[in-house]
Amino acid sequence: MAIRLENQVALVTGAGTGLGRAHALELAKHGATVIVNDIDSHSNESTQPTAAALVVAEIEATGGRAAVAYCDVSDETAVQEMVARIISDFGRVDILINNAGILRDKSFGKSNLADFRRVLEVHVMGSVNCSHAVWSQMLTQGYGRILMTTSASGIYGNFGQANYGTAKSAVVGLMNVLAIEGESKNIRVNALAPTAATQMTEDLLKTEDLVKLAPEHVSPGAVFMVSPQAPTKTILAAGAGVFATARMEESTGVFLPMENLSAEDVAENWDRISDMSSTVRTESAFEQTHRYIAKVDSGSDSRGALL
């Protein structure tokens, strides 16, 4: 199943180094025109090319097409202007990979809340700003692929990463809603949960593990998740050539009669309520609500019934 991205324009945020760079190179390999976004850290006196410019040069050297788009993704106005320039220059935006991110790791009790807000601004509002900026164009053209970058820290938690975990969980919520709202317009929205050796993780892992966790071993999964064949509303976990999907599930549930319902009733039925041996997958909040109401209306016995 060949993945062809010719005539598609892909915007990758935070693409000067690490995962973003690897994503950009992999997209170009499949024929996409790649817009390499990063913060412009270039001083006025420097004659050296920026990291983003080096990625563009690397793509062009292999016959690909690419351009730099400097922008802080947490700046809504700057993002809108960046996307407007891309559409003016290239006519469309087919793919957005929200990759830009920062780390400010510290145990919660020692956290600086200014750092906490900054992490949310970059990861969450950066993803919101970029997705919102391309959304109307994708609606108009009847096609779009958006990939959020989540993390195992957001899905499962990780010591010292309250700010990062909060942000990475939030973008899964954004994915869930945008996937529902974009489905009828052929806009598919997914999330990538990468485990990779980057500037953000190089001090946390052994050298031999860093080699296994090269970003290049994640990016093929990212490209599939923004391809015409992509699923939607799906989390792809990836690292060291290992790929898996992660999702939220519920236990099947127990109905407790509402007359005189008490906390003690919940406690007495906790083993059954929390039994995950059989689960249900829920496509939307309304679907969950309708499932609950249907069980009540069906007339459950007074002992509490599985939903």
Q: Give pLDDT tens digits for 164-218.
A: 999 999 999 999 999 999 999 999 999 999 998 766 566 666 777 788 889 999 9
pLDDT of residue 38: 98
Mean pLDDT along residues 282-292: 89
53 vs 47, which has greater pLDDT?
53
* Model confidence at 1: pLDDT above 90: no
Is 156 an annotated catalytic residue?
no
- Helix, coil or strand: residue 63: coil
Dihedral sign (CA 290, 251, 295, 262): negative
- Mean pLDDT, residues 97-115: 97
Which has the higher per-residue pLDDT, 91 or 214?
A: 91
pLDDT for the residue 290: 86
Distance CA 5, CA 20 (A): 17
For residue 155, which phi and psi values (nearest 5 degrees)? -80, -45
In this prediction, what percent of the chain has a pLDDT beyond 90? 81
Is residue 253 within 8 A of residue 273, CB to CB? The reply is yes
- Burial class from Cβ neighbours inside 10 Å (0-12, 13-18, 19+) for residue 114 reads exposed
Q: What pLDDT, on a 0 to 100 scale, did the predictor assign at position 60?
A: 98
Q: Which two tokens stand for residue 196?
A: 């990779």
Distance of alpha carbon 192 from alpha carbon 169, whole angstroms:
12
Count of beta carbons in the 10 Å neighbourhood of residue 202: 11
Q: Please name the residues in contact with 34: beta carbons below 8 A apart, sequence gap of 6 or more.
A: 10, 12, 15, 24, 27, 28, 56, 59, 64, 65, 66, 67
Mean pLDDT, the chain, integer: 93
The backbone region for 212, taken as left when phi is positive above 0, alpha when psi lies in -120 to 50, beta otherwise, is alpha
Instruction: Find the mean pLDDT for residues 71-90.
Output: 98
Choice among 70, 156, 164, 292 that is catalytic = 164
Distance CA 159, CA 95 (A): 33
d(CA 228, CA 153): 29
Q: Quick one: pLDDT band at residue 301, thresholds 50, 70, 90?
A: very low
Residue 24, pLDDT above cutoff 80: yes
Token match 């898996």: residue?
244
> Using one digit for the tens of pLDDT, what is the confidence trace for 218-266?
999 999 999 999 999 999 999 999 999 999 999 999 999 999 999 999 9
Residue 23 Cα distances to 33, 225, 230, angstroms: 12, 11, 16
What would the CATH number be for the domain defined by 9-246? Answer: 3.40.50.720
Higher pLDDT among residues 288 and 184, named by residue: 184
* Closest C-alpha among 35, 5, 1, 12 to residue 192: 12
Amino acid letter, residue 173? G
DSSP state for residue 122 in the 8-state scheme? I
Q: Would the pLDDT of 43 be above 80?
A: no
Q: How far apart are CA 234 and CA 223, in angstroms?
A: 14
Distance CA 270, CA 108 (A): 30
Strands (E), 53-159: 66-70, 95-97, 144-149
Which amino acid is it at 221? G
Of 32-36, 153-157, 275-279, 286-290, the range with the lowest mean pLDDT is: 286-290
- Predicted confidence band at 302 (pLDDT cuts at 50, 70, 90)? very low
* Positive/negative CA dihedral, 276, 282, 288, 294: negative
For residue range 134-147, what is the model confidence (pLDDT) as tens digits? 999 999 999 999 99
- Residue 3 has which token pair? 């993945």
Three-class secondary structure of residue 64 per DSSP: coil
